[in-house]
Amino acid sequence: MTHPTDVRAGALNGPVSIVRCNDYQIDGVRAALHEALAPLGGMAAFVKPGERIGLKPNLLLGSDPDQAIVTHPAVLAAVALEVREAGASPVVLESPGSGIIPSPRVLARQFAKAGYQAVADSNGFELSLETEWDWVPYAEGRAFKKVEIVRSAMQVDGLINIPKFKTHSWMILTGATKNLFGLIPGLTKVGYHGKYPQKERFAEMLLDVAALMKPRLNVMDAVVGMEGQGPGTGGKPRNVGLLLAGADTISMDAVCCGIAGFDLRAVPVVERALAHGLWDGRLAGVPVFGPAVADVAVRDFKPPVKGVASNGLELPVIGEVGRNFLRNGFSPRPRPQVGPCTICGSCEQACPVQAISMEKKPRVARVDDEKCIRCYCCHEVCPHAAIELRFTGAGRLMHGLGIV
């Protein structure tokens, strides 16, 4: 994948453009996107005529766009049309990891469920059904020196990242940086949760993927976001009414934290980026075009359960016994619910430590708390919102008192 030197990707504290966008009517989304890109130089600053440009939405799992789990098809279509008007050819790339074995047929079904096939057909752009992958070396990586990446992402001339404004039960925020994790193929993602069970290391892995892939542009779908126990069916849609654009994933994520009212240092990706000098840690230092972050901040935006964000697993000084105590007492446990659970097996396939089994009497998935590393992959991928995150014992008391 080539990266023209005149494209401003990955600039430290790069600018973020914020535009109000209140609904998903395609004409309104296109106008908002055009307005957001104007102070950045327009789409022509990021793509060149004749190029093939990959578009990476957030397609956690094929779902109705009104659930706010996926990048809305209207935003995807708007970006594709802007790319085409700049003389380039857009192609949508994705590899959902939602407990499914990737294949072209399965991927096509996910595209259709999310509404992507319909907008691609009506607007004449391509959806890649490539599911093969390759090992890609990255000598500069802190967490890895090579990584599996879907082949289609390495065959385009440039990448535009189109994330969704969502919470995340483990990483707090599913922002621009984390969205690129979707380029690691399908269920291979599960192994990365097992390899990097500590939030700090997982965040550093996400930063490596973003640095390797170098998206030229990020367009954030924040028209309707997700709050609470995101990023999947456990979260709730929340009107935000914004579209954001910028070349730097960290600046984008920092601005999203400001809009949601999240402490920057509580979001692992943003905190690790600061620790490694990838930005200066000051939200006020991020140039913003359009309304100020404070003017568009969402009042009472609900974060994930606090214990998910602060379970202490990444503190090496407390030792293994201390980590187990904090994990078992002060972080919520995944609890599949009889009734909503259909024992479809998505959570079992997504678990990186094989802590989940399917029970027939009663018909419900069963989580082995001793094996569970509290990565919440099961909660993330469950298509039926059947897995609740519950505190037990002392943790339940502390959570009730608002301490965790």
Q: Where are the alpha helices (DSSP H) in 196-229?
A: 199-213
- How far apart are alpha carbons 368 and 391 in whole angstroms? 15
| Residue pair 100/60 in contact by the 8 Å Cβ criterion | no
Q: Is 378 domain-assigned?
A: yes
- How far apart are alpha carbons 20 and 74 in whole angstroms? 15
**What pLDDT, on the 0 to 100 scale, is given for residue 350?**
82
CATH number at residue 146: 3.40.50.11440
Q: Where are the alpha helices (DSSP H) in 222-376?
A: 249-260, 268-275, 293-296, 306-309, 319-330, 346-350
* Other CB atoms within 10 A of residue 134 CB: 14
Q: Is 2 domain-assigned?
A: no
Q: What percent of the chain has pLDDT over 70?
A: 86
383 & 258 share domain = no
249 & 231 share domain = yes
Q: Which residue, 176, 198, 194, 336, is CA-closest to 255?
A: 176
Residue range(s) defining the domain that contains residue 359:
306-400
33 & 51 share domain = yes
What are the tokens at 345? 């097996």
Quick: pLDDT tens for 36-73. Answer: 999 999 999 999 999 999 999 999 888 999 999 999 99
Helix (H, G, I), strand (E, B) or coil at 285: helix
- How far apart are alpha carbons 248 and 276 in whole angstroms? 15
- How far apart are alpha carbons 221 and 224 in whole angstroms? 7
| Residue pair 352/193 in contact by the 8 Å Cβ criterion | yes
Q: Is 4 domain-assigned?
A: no
361 & 241 share domain = no
What total of structural domains would you count in the chain?
A: 2
Q: Is 3 domain-assigned?
A: no
Strand (E) positions, 21-84? 52-57
152 & 80 share domain = yes
* pTM, two decimal places: 0.82
Query: What's the average model confidence in pLDDT over 16-31?
Result: 97
Contacts of 123 (CB under 8 A, 6+ apart): 77, 80, 81
Q: Looking up tokens 């993602």, which residue turns up?
A: 189
137 & 242 share domain = yes
Stronger pLDDT, 397 or 232, i.e. the higher one: 232
pLDDT class for 382, splitting at 50, 70, 90?
A: confident
pLDDT class for 1, splitting at 50, 70, 90?
A: very low
- How far apart are alpha carbons 131 and 404 in whole angstroms? 41
183 & 330 share domain = no
Quick: pLDDT tens for 277-318. Answer: 988 889 999 999 999 999 999 999 999 975 444 333 333 333
282 & 312 share domain = no
Domain's final residue, options 237, 265, 296: 296
pLDDT class for 401, splitting at 50, 70, 90?
A: very low
Domain's final residue, options 250, 278, 296: 296
Output the DSSP codes for 320-349.
Answer: HHHHHHHHHHHS-EEEE-BTTB---SHHHH
